[in-house]
Structure 1
Amino acid sequence: MSRKSRRLARGRPRRTVTRTRRDEGQWAVGGQVPLNDAEQIKADDDGLNVRAQIEEIYSEQGWASIEKTDLRNRFRWWGLYTQRRPGIDGGKTATLDIADLEDEYFMLRVRVDGGRLSTEQLRTIADVSTEFARDTADISDRQNIQLHWIRVEDLPEIWRRLEGVGLTTGESAGDTPRVILGSPLAGIAADEVLDGTPASTALRDLLLANPEYSNLPRKFTTAVSGLHEVAHEIQDVAFIGVDHPEHGPGFDVWVGGGLSTNPMLAVRLGAWVPSEDVPEVWAGIVSVFRDHGYRRVRTRARLKFLVADWGAQRFRDVLETEYLGRTLADGPGPTRMARPRDHVGVQPQKNGLNAIGAAPTAGRSSGTQLRAVADAAEAAGSHRVRPTPMQKLVVLDVDDDHVAPLTGEFDRIGLAVEPSPWRRSTMACTGIEYCNYGLVETKHRAAQLITELEQSLAGIAGGLGTPISIHLNGCPNSCARIQVADIGLKGMRVAAPNGEIVDGFQAHLDGFQVHLGGSLGFDAGMGRKLRGHKVLSSDLHDYVTRVVTHYLRERLSDETFATWVGSADEQKLR
């Protein structure tokens, strides 16, 4: 690390002054006096420190011994969320206290920076899943692996095994720098501008377990890629490969993206950064967020709100003058792809080998299946596996003779290398099955919808062109990116159509609010939301079939679904 990077890692002096009534809780403006319970908990003790409590006390004395501010706050610094108790329907999510919702188990998020896994690491995750997590494993759209049914008593042994092969659960949640997204084909793609792996690795070394960045206003997402398939438009910061006419290959810098209830697309700073400077520039950007980010109100604490208020030019000016002490080079923007890549199928590597991408069902896997992937990859001569930002799995370095056997083995274990358009393009969040925020079930409903669409729309697969993406989310938080999907489905409770009354109240059923025509890539934008339009979960298949049929009948030549939605008659979208 350079001298300047080390100075940034130590952080800037912060001054404490009297607060004003209009203070947003920015450390650089009003000091560090906590303005809400979450900020007070972080001020009382760094979330990183809870690891010792877990290993020395809570794992020995069990669930009942866990202090509540640790349980529902600091545990997240180590990738732990309390798990939803089975049998509590979505209508009670907003009415019950968290203590009545949560079970005595955890969801544990294994951090996979850059999506880089060896077969040894994948097999270790699989073993942890089968021994400690009831054979659960979900591939998230942040390239993490999420396990469920984790007991606090088992955490020391789980951490011992994961860390023994170079994995961690640290800072995969909480108000911290989350996992770094990266291209599944980094270093081997024929069309990448440059390999993002060195920058991503150096950045991981800088940020992990670094107390300078472990108390941010909210979570902070990062992507580094020499290609453009890491959803950079919705990250807090992204470094995307570009070829500068004077300086050569490097990265274009984007800031301020994010979805949830106030979705915003990231903006370019117009700055070009060489690979070796990525950690320094990232440290400056996250430090701007740490010191100037809004901390008074949690719903306005993401970086996107600061960027929206300041604009790209002011943000760059503060970054350069107050944090970097130098001016960044201006640079070009990336050449945008028409659609994000999912890396499903057989893809040639530039070294003459092949990458084989397969589609789990809406990201749902298992420890048993992950172990089978590791075994199959090694049998094909590979030791590298990549989860993707689209909830897929890719095995690298497969020679031509092993492509067919590996594809056949994937089919046998339930992973499709040549999936239907619906299996290929459907994603889902965790949903009510495990999540305390969930209003509706998502994973099983997505699987059912895929099967129904494969049967009813089998005849149109060849004429569809680009698959239509369908993203299901169990609540408004948009972990499954509903606003940037062709068909985004936000879980909610919908009044029963027959006016049924239960216990004196209008009955409500599982349903979804619909967002149509969202996209990332060349025409990145948020989906169209139809006023008052909601679809019952039981009616999803009929609804999707109806809208897709209208699209196929009315589209112009090569017109994408998102473009068609923008001009379609509203009645054709209902």
Structure 2
Amino acid sequence: MGEQKEKTQGLNAAEQAKLEKDGLDVVQDIARFAEQGVTALTPGDIERLKWVGLYLQRPKEDGNFMLRIKLPGGLLTTAQARVIAGISRDYGKNGLDITTRHSLQFHWIRLEGLPDIFGRLTQAGLTTLQAAGDCPRGIVVNPLAGIDAEECLDAAPWGEALYQFFQNNRDFSNLPRKFKIAITGAPHNSIQAELNDISFVPAEKRESGKILYGFHVLVGGGLSSQPQLATELDLFVLPEQVVAVAAAVAAIFRDHGYREKRNHARLKFLLNDWGVEKFTQELLSRTGSLQPGGKRITGTWNGGKFFGIHPQKQAGFYYLGLAIPCGRLTADELQELAGLAERYGDGTLRTTNSQDILIPGIAETVLASLKQEPLVKSQHKLQGTMTAQAITCTGKEFCPFAIIETKAFAARLLAQLDEAFPEKLPLRIHVSGCVHACAQPQIADIGLQGTMVMSDGVAKEAAEVWLGGTLEQQGVLGRKIAGKVPVDQAAATLVRLLSLYRDERLPEEPFGEFVKRTGLLDKAVNEWSK
């Protein structure tokens, strides 16, 4: 008893819950929870349910859960899509959200429905295991892996190898905090590499007069209240070394990461305290010798967005990128997309980490017919719009942490902005409900992050504003403006702000460069927010 008390002293509640029982063991409790209901859950049970992708949603007293399906690399067969659509109809009020890690999420899930839901998912070859919790989360892979005309390496096999290694692996089921992994073999940084705990990005070296392709390694990225872009290590990793390197970084995090405070537990804090040299030395002590870095292969950052019909690297085949506004769709829409993928594509869909969907494997011979499909024709009005470029989090509608509602608010805001600027300004607007920054506002041209503001003695929903974020080249975080904009004034404020950009930018000048060059927007938003 005294030994257990000593173990838990100074640890937060989540760490204590993990000492009581490994998060993976919650699988064995699902049938009992379904029978006994939410009132029988202990705080430790609620914490451990994250390991099967379950979060208690707002309002907590109603006993509804969000359930996240883990889709490594975003790959989904049409049969699996139909199973997901069926579960959404039966248990999730016909709704689905796409996340920034390829996953799909249901809301309104009750514990009593879990045996049937998990049974259907398992039969379809799908899982929710480790879609959340203090463990390696879903692996983000270039959404075009294997079909990307620009890729120098197909990252799909290595993304799958990472998934297979970490999935249900008890050596890594109790980390200090979540652990995010991403990999791409293409130059356009669709994986938002700088935001992950570890990312593998394409690189090259010359050996005996030949070009050798591999990866550079970035570590220690993450946003939330203390945003930080990942640091690139001076290492060149061969494809067959990827799993070993990721395992070593995860082991360093497990063995040396901080467990006292939840808001100071991500890998970035350990990296900052150790420094890059010590971290690299510890990594090499676990992996053995690795080659020094080569030349990173970079191109224009695309934000993970792929709209319209484009050729694949396979001659005669194309993929279709579909914008899913605010990352939210219905079960019926997912089923319709599955039908399109069967009739025109290779029978698969791909969710993207930018909350959209791709249909790959479209033969050139059927393109004309595909373009006449009503759903495809409806996409034309979205091309180049701010609505199509936006990213949003779940928001106050369901998330207990969020301060403002995001999905409906963002849809209204973006519609107003697109109407005000029919010339289609090239802008990315991200809307996050709270400081956790799940919608990645710090890398957007304009990031809105939920907060509250006092107006005439009344607390009102508002947003902090970030300007000029980008992952172009090595990336730069947006600058947070001092003031706060009430939600009901956001549209008017952004119309005024974007009018300055439209009227005073240089030809082809990106928004971030305009902000940096002029400083006008900082001053304007500060003034308007008073």
In structure 2, the gaps of 5 or more residues are none
Q: Which residue of 2 aligns with 1:554?
A: 504
Kindly provide the CA deviation profile for residues 493-530 of structure 1, in whole angstroms up to 9, marking residues without a partner as x.
1222xx1xxxxxx2111210100001112151111112
- In structure 2, C-alpha distance between the alignment counterparts of 1:31 and 1:132, rounded to whole Å: 40
On the 8 A contact 2:462/2:486 being kept in 1, the answer is yes
**1:64 CA displacement:** 2.1
Over 3 Å counting, the alpha-carbon distance change for 1:341 and 1:297 in structure 2 is closer
Q: What displacement does 1:302 show?
A: 0.1
Q: Which amino acid aligns with 2:253?
A: F
Aligned pair 1:571/2:530, yes or no? no
Could you say which residue in structure 1 is the equivalent of 2:156? 197
Q: What is the CA deviation profile of residues 86-131 of structure 1, one whole-angstrom value per residue up to 9, with x for unaligned ones?
A: xxxxxxxxxxxxxxx4421100000011111111111111111111
Alignment of 1:153-302 (within 5 A): 153-227=112-186, 228-246=189-207, 248-302=212-266
* Aligned equivalent of 2:312: 349
Task: Output the CA distance in 2 between the equivalents of 1:377 and 1:416.
Answer: 19
Q: Could you tell me which residue of structure 1 aligns to residue 49 of structure 2? A: 75
SS state of the match for residue 162, structure 1? Answer: helix
SS of residue matched to 1:435: coil
Deviation sequence 1:427-466 (CA, Å, 0-9, x none): 11000000001111100011111221222211x22xx3xx
Query: Does residue 1:58 correspond to 2:8, yes or no?
Result: no
Partner in structure 1 of residue 461 of structure 2: 510
State the alpha-carbon separation in 1 of the partners of residues 438 and 371 from structure 2.
Answer: 30
The answer to whether the 8 A contact 2:370-2:376 is kept is: no
Determine if contact 1:410/1:417 at 8 Å carries over to the other structure.
no
Aligned to 2:444: 485
Residues 146-168 of structure 1: per-residue CA shift (max 9 Å, x gap):
10011111111111111222211
Are the equivalent residues in 1 in contact too, given 2:134–2:177 (CA < 8 A)? yes
**What's 2:298 paired with?**
335
Correspondent of 1:530 among 445, 470, 481: 481
Distance 1:360 1:407, change over 3 A: farther
Give 1:97's aligned residue: none
- Which region of structure 1 is more displaced relative to structure 2, 480-489 or 345-354? 345-354
What SS does structure 2 have at the residue aligned with 1:76?
A: helix
1:204, 1:159 → 2: CA distance? 19
How far, CA to CA, are the matches of 1:327 and 1:452 in structure 2? 52
- Structure 2 counterpart of 1:372: 336
Counterpart of 1:22?
A: none
Distance in 2, matches of 1:520 and 1:166, equals 34
**1:282-338 deviations in Å (ceiling 9; x for gaps):** 1111000000111122111000111122222221110111x1233444322232424
**Partners of 1:314 and 1:537 in 2: CA distance:** 45
Are 1:137 and 1:367, in contact at CA under 8 Å, matched by a contact in 2?
Answer: yes
Q: Which amino acid aligns with 1:133?
A: G
Superposition pairs of residues 427-506 of structure 1, within 5 angstroms: 427-458=391-422, 460-461=423-424, 464=425, 467-496=426-455, 499=456, 506=457
Q: Give 3-state SS (helix, strand or coil) of 1:477's partner.
A: coil
CA distance in 1, matches of 2:394, 2:369: 32
* Mapped partners of 1:131, 1:303: distance in 2: 39
1:409 Cα shift?
Answer: 3.3
Q: CA deviation at 1:558?
A: 2.1
* Contact 1:115–1:183 (8 Å) recurs in 2: no
C-alpha displacement at 1:413, in angstroms? 9.6
CA distance in 1 between partners of 2:71 and 2:410 (Å)? 25
* 1:38 correspondence with 2:14: yes
Measured in 2, the distance between the counterparts of 1:137 and 1:278 equals 33
Contact 2:78 2:342 in 1 (8 A): yes
Shift in CA distance, 164/399, structure 1 to aligned 2, threshold 3 Å: same
Task: Tell me: CA distance 1:68–1:381, structure 2 relative to 1, closer, same or farther (3 Å).
Answer: same
User: How far does the alpha carbon of each residue in 1:328-385 deviate from its partner, in whole angstroms, 9 at most, with x for none?
Assistant: 4432223242443401111110112111001111101111111110011111143121
Report the Cα distance in structure 1 between the residues aligned to 2:470 and 2:202, rounded to whole angstroms. 20
TM-score, normalised on structure 1?
0.86
Counterpart of 1:519, as a letter, is T
Identity %: 38
CA distance in 1, matches of 2:220, 2:380: 35
Q: Is the 8 A contact 1:345 1:417 kept in 2?
A: no
Q: CA deviation at 1:61?
A: 2.1
Change (3 A) 1:444 1:205: same
Size of the alignment, in residue pairs? 514
How far apart are the structure 2 equivalents of 1:315 and 1:328? 16
Aligned equivalent of 1:14: none
Which amino acid is the alignment partner of residue 201 of structure 1? E
For residues 24-64 of structure 1, the C-alpha deviation after alignment (integer angstroms, 9 at most, x for no partner) is xxxxxx99976232212111110110111112x11122222
Structure 1: give runs of 5+ residues left out of the alignment: 1-17, 19-29, 86-100, 500-505
Change in CA separation of 1:523 and 1:573 when aligned onto 2, cut-off 3 Å: farther
The answer on whether the counterparts of 1:358 and 1:418 sit within 8 Å (CA) in structure 2 is: no
How many angstroms apart in 2 are the aligned matches of 1:299 and 1:261?
A: 8
Q: Which residue of 1 aligns with 2:288?
A: 325
The correspondence of residues 376-391 of structure 1 with structure 2, limited to 5 A, is 376-391=340-355
Residues 257-290 of structure 1 deviation map (CA, whole Å, 9 limit, x = unaligned): 0000000000111211111111111111100000
Cα 1:340–1:35 shift into 2, 3 Å: same
Distance in 2 (alpha carbons) for counterparts of 1:75 and 1:104:
13
Which residue matches 2:100?
Answer: 141
Deviations 1:173-192 (A, max 9, x none): 11010000011110111110
Please name the residue that 1:503 is paired with: none
Residues 197 and 220, structure 2, Cα contact 8 Å, conserved in 1: yes
Structure 1 residue identity aligned to 2:295:
P
